[in-house]
Structure 1
């Protein structure tokens, strides 16, 4: 009789499959299509931010990798609208420090520390997939699972995904996994948990 895979083993295999799919889809899409998706994410993301933090405030975001949904347009729109944008700096122990978007990772004086996420009115997090219960499959290091408990109570966490990465089937879940409240794609925002 085979032993069922542990959540860690199942996540690793699924993450590998999903990243391969992302790479294929990225290669199949033109730059104009990817830019249009990023513009749509910015449009939907700004609507979301204005709903969650209408008077301005702080948003944690991130600087997307090429195969991830683009965040550059959204980050620029946030700054232009007067929001403070902070992004993560991954530490050697895979925890997250935070810095202003306009600072560099090397500018230690600008860093906000591990509790920088507590300043956020909205958390935008990367992911590979999210299921309908809000379980997020991240990059595999557990960085956000360590950081998310430091946010203020009630601050929503929204994962930015490509269309089709919000999945109906339950994702493998480990005890430390932190659920997210919504998903943002080029098609819009899908709330998963009551606010």
Structure 2
């Protein structure tokens, strides 16, 4: 028997249905369409980094059809000013996330090749990441702890959809709900990267859900949410 109230149970079922539909749509995107969208997201996130003057970024490492593609970490590293740093997540056994600093790959180090999604044609590049659990890619450096994300200027998070009030729909594992719940106020600017069509009017909210400050989509670009920090 469910411990959820009738309203919460209804929201939960709506989220399951929405999540299934969005995942199916993502998987059906042609490679060329996804590659072009990733390139647009790279341009828009780079512009955001430079416009905000962010010197420290925490981001995710896209897998499969997630927005941004496998080159996203490298593009973010290139967008940072001298002395800037990029933190990337490392999955813990309880599904929480600790963080490690990304650095340009050492050509002689133990790194895995990654195929670029550049629409001009596939190429093989050296990755700054190593293989992690569940098919993830992770930075190999020292683990900085779950609180490391609290001190960054900009946090880019994955999402399947974001509603008009900033409510974020994830895959259901809860990793980023924990990350967002521990951020201070005021904290970093939190932006979700989405495919076109995933910036929606409404996402059902449950007590554990957290909102984001803005979204970036390939064609729509940067769009604030109602309580976006001033000046962002």
Q: Same fold (TM over 0.5)?
A: yes
Q: CA RMSD in A?
A: 2.1
Q: Which residue of 1 aligns with 2:204?
A: 172
Tell whether 2:34 aligns with 1:34.
yes
Q: CA deviation at 1:133?
A: 0.3
Q: Which residue of 2 aligns with 1:184?
A: 216
Q: CA deviation at 1:107?
A: 7.1
Check the 8 A contact 1:44/1:189 in 2, yes or no: yes
Structure with more helix by fraction? 1
Q: CA deviation at 1:97?
A: 0.8
Q: CA deviation at 1:108?
A: 7.2
What is the CA–CA distance in structure 1 between the aligned matches of 2:79 and 2:162, rounded to whole Å? Answer: 28
Q: Which is worse superposed, 34-43 or 72-81? A: 72-81
Deviations 1:144-178 (A, max 9, x none): 1111133342311111110110002x211111211
Higher RCO (C-alpha 8 Å, min separation 6) = 1
Aligned length: 186
Q: Which residue of 1 aligns with 2:65?
A: 67
Q: Which is worse superposed, 67-76 or 37-46? A: 67-76
Q: CA deviation at 1:75?
A: 2.2
Q: Trace 1:111-130 onto structure 2 (pairs within 5 A).
A: 111-130=143-162
Residue 135 (structure 1) aligned to one of 167, 175, 182:
167
Q: CA deviation at 1:123?
A: 0.6
Structure exhibiting the larger radius of gyration computed from Cα positions: 2
Deviations 1:110-140 (A, max 9, x none): 1111111113111100010001100000010
Q: Which residue of 2 aligns with 1:149?
A: 181
Tell whether 2:65 aligns with 1:23.
no
Check the 8 A contact 1:58/1:85 in 2, yes or no: yes
Check the 8 A contact 1:78/1:84 in 2, yes or no: no
Deviations 1:56-112 (A, max 9, x none): 521111111221112444422221233422111221212111122345458776111
What is the CA–CA distance in structure 2 between the aligned matches of 1:167 and 1:160, rounded to whole Å? Answer: 13
Measured at CA, do residues 12 and 182 of structure 1 come closer, stay the same or move farther in structure 2, by a change above 3 Å? same
Uncovered stretches (5+) of structure 1, i.e. residues with no partner: none
Q: Which residue of 1 aligns with 2:115?
A: none
TM-score, length-normalised on structure 1? 0.85
Uncovered stretches (5+) of structure 2, i.e. residues with no partner: 1-5, 103-127, 133-137
Check the 8 A contact 1:61/1:85 in 2, yes or no: yes
**Secondary structure at the counterpart of residue 100 of structure 1:** strand
Check the 8 A contact 2:191/2:216 in 1, yes or no: yes
TM-score, length-normalised on structure 2? 0.72
